[in-house]
Amino acid sequence: MRRWIGHPQNRRLAEWLETGLPADVDAHIMTCNRCAARIEDLAEPEPVLARALSAVLAPPTDLVPRLHHGIDGKLRNRADLQFLAGLLVLPADAARLLLTEDE
């Protein structure tokens, strides 16, 4: 059985996760909280960095309500503009009717 001084490297711990060997790593992990925690990090489906990036890149929790609020505002503005344009067209239509020659 091979002995080492210190803690096994991540590569060796990952190898232990895949095969369950070597036994000296197994014995070390049973007595070392630090390496046991590293094993948990290596065993998780998402590495620590990926979880951290996911948290940073995740959309804000209030994104959907903010989008709805913005869209509703744009639609209200469009409806108001259409109404205003309709009001401006009325005098032009009335003037056209009044200025046309009677047939």
Q: Which two tokens stand for residue 89?
A: 């067209």
- Among 46-50, 52-56, 97-101, which is the least confidently predicted range? 46-50
What tens digit of pLDDT does each residue of 13-30 get? 878 777 776 677 777 778
The pLDDT of 37-53, averaged and rounded, is 75
- Tell me the pLDDT band of 3, cut-offs 50, 70 and 90: low
pLDDT at site 68: 93
Which residue carries 């009325």 as its tokens?
90
Which residue carries 């990952």 as its tokens?
14
Domain spans, the chain: 1-58, 60-103
Q: How many Å apart are CA 97 and CA 85, to the nearest integer?
A: 18
- Tell me the pLDDT band of 96, cut-offs 50, 70 and 90: confident
